[in-house]
């Protein structure tokens, strides 16, 4: 999709990190932007900041884990702008860093429901609410779903599993759009370590989301992993790096977008080779 000027983007998780950086990038390219996020205060601040690019900005408080809320977001976007050209399903959460390495039988089941609800259902609801209407309009457009390098690596924890699901879903969507001869295309973005507020995601976890994993009772090695991961994330890449990759991916119609992957692609290669050679998964 070459022409962005005057066209419309919808971004979820737009009040912070990767979503906010991408909102700035796309507005700077002349796009009107619909910002969706669950967090009211930062969403209002983002609305003001992104409007400084001089394009129309609409902020819609949205919990992407609610199908009704995502449908209402689509209604609001199409009512305000008539069409949507870029759909960035980006909102995502991770429970504490320790749960990124927890075992499937550790931690709370509610962590799984919450993480899958936002990271996977949120993307699925976005696709179902927007894509049929985007197809119906018949204009060119692009869908970008945020997964993670975790979506390409082994891990029996809610975050990895939810991101694998996003990769699989998006690969299928790309194939289906090609098969249809649609003017829409798709990309999956799999960032490495990006310095955002992702490890404070529980700030947006509602009271009704069930029992949180009690980090203090987790294994000592998990506690050590969490401390190391938190510090690695803090020295990770700036979210604007991801925004730049997303912008290029839309323009150049590239499917796999791997910003800030550093050494992680070596681990992905090892996993892929292991699959082809039918080797048993290596312990981490
Ligand atoms: N930071 C990283 O290292 C990294 C790496 C790979 C993938 N990602 C993915 O990037 C995406 C963006 O995360 P980020 O790193 O910018 O974190 P962030 O916490 O800075 O931003 C995430 C945004 O999503 C919003 N959000 C959370 N739950 C929501 C919900 N139910 N409905 C709507 N909005 C909700 C938050 O309020 C926040 O504004 C996520 O999908 C995350 O999994 C991040």
Domain ranges within the chain, ordered by starting residue: 8-202+211-276
2-10: average pLDDT: 97
Tell me: pLDDT of 208 over 90: no
Ligand 1 pocket mutation, candidates 61, 196, 206, 256, criterion most atoms within 8 A of CB: 196
Tell me: pLDDT of 262 over 80: no
> Which atom of ligand 1 is closest in space to residue 117's alpha carbon?
31
> Which atom of ligand 1 is closest in space to residue 203's alpha carbon?
37
Sorting pLDDT into bands at 50, 70 and 90, what band is 282? confident
Ligand 1 pocket mutation, candidates 18, 45, 239, criterion most atoms within 8 A of CB: 18
Strand 32-37 relative to strand 57-61, pairing: parallel
- In the chain, the percentage of residues whose pLDDT exceeds 70 is 100
| Residue 159 bears catalytic tag | yes
121-137: average pLDDT: 99
For the chain, the three-class secondary structure string (H helix, E strand, C coil) is CCCCCCCEEEEECCCCHHHHHHHHHHHHCCCEEEEEECCHHHHHHHHHHHHCCCCCEEEEECCCCCHHHHHHHHHHHHHHHCCCCEEEECCCCCCCHHHHCCCCCCCCHHHHHHHHHHHHHHHHHHHHHHHHHHHHHCCCEEEEEECCHHHHCCCCCHHHHHHHHHHHHHHHHHHHHHHHCCCEEEEEECCCCECCCHHHHHHHCCHHHCCCCCHHHCCHHHHHHHHHHHHHHHCCECHHHHHHHHHHHHHHCCCEECCCCCCHHHHHHHHHHHHHCCCCCCCC
Q: How far is the CA of 234 from the centre of ligand 1 (A)?
A: 15
Q: Whose Cα sits closest to atom 8 in ligand 1?
A: 148
Tell me: pLDDT of 78 over 90: yes
Q: How far is the CA of 146 from the centre of ligand 1 (A)?
A: 9
Sorting pLDDT into bands at 50, 70 and 90, what band is 216? confident
Sorting pLDDT into bands at 50, 70 and 90, what band is 207? confident
pLDDT of residue 60: 99
Q: How far is the CA of 188 from the centre of ligand 1 (A)?
A: 15
108-117: average pLDDT: 96
Cβ–ligand 1 distance for 62 under 6 Å, the answer yes
Q: CA neighbours within 13 Å on the CB side: how many for 224?
A: 3
189-195: average pLDDT: 97
Tell me: pLDDT of 143 over 80: yes
Sorting pLDDT into bands at 50, 70 and 90, what band is 103? very high
Cβ–ligand 1 distance for 87 under 6 Å, the answer no
* 8-202+211-276 fold: Rossmann fold (3.40.50)
pLDDT of residue 269: 95
Cβ–ligand 1 distance for 193 under 6 Å, the answer yes
Q: How far is the CA of 95 from the centre of ligand 1 (A)?
A: 11
Cβ–ligand 1 distance for 15 under 6 Å, the answer yes
247-271: average pLDDT: 94
């Amino acid at each position: 999709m070459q022409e962005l000027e005057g066209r419309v983007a919808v971004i979820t998780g737009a009040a912070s990190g990767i979503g906010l950086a991408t909102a700035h990038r796309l507005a700077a390219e002349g796009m009107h932007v619909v910002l969706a996020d669950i967090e009211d205060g930062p969403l209002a601040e983002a609305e003001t900041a992104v409007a400084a690019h001089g394009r129309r900005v609409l902020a819609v408080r949205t919990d992407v884990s609610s199908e009704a809320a995502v449908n209402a977001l689509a209604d609001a976007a199409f009512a305000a702008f008539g069409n949507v050209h870029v759909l960035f399903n980006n909102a995502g959460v991770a429970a504490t860093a320790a749960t990124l390495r927890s075992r499937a039988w550790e931690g709370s089941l509610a962590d799984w429901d919450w993480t899958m609800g936002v990271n996977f259902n949120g993307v699925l609801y976005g696709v179902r609410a927007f894509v049929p209407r985007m197809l119906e309009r018949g204009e060119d457009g692009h869908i970008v779903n945020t997964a993670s390098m975790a979506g390409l690596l082994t891990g029996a924890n809610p975050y990895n599993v939810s991101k694998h699901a996003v990769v699989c879903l998006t690969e299928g969507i790309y194939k289906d759009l090609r098969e249809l001869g649609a003017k829409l295309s798709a990309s999956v973005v799999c960032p490495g370590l990006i310095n955002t507020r992702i490890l404070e995601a529980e700030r947006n976890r509602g009271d009704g989301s069930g029992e949180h994993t009690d980090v203090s009772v987790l294994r000592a090695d998990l506690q050590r992993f969490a401390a190391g991961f938190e510090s690695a994330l803090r020295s990770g890449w700036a979210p604007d790096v991801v925004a730049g990759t997303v912008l290029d991916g839309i323009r150049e119609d590239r499917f796999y977008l791997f910003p800030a992957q550093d050494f992680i692609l070596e681990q992905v290669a090892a996993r892929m080779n292991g699959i082809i050679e039918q080797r048993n998964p290596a312990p981490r």
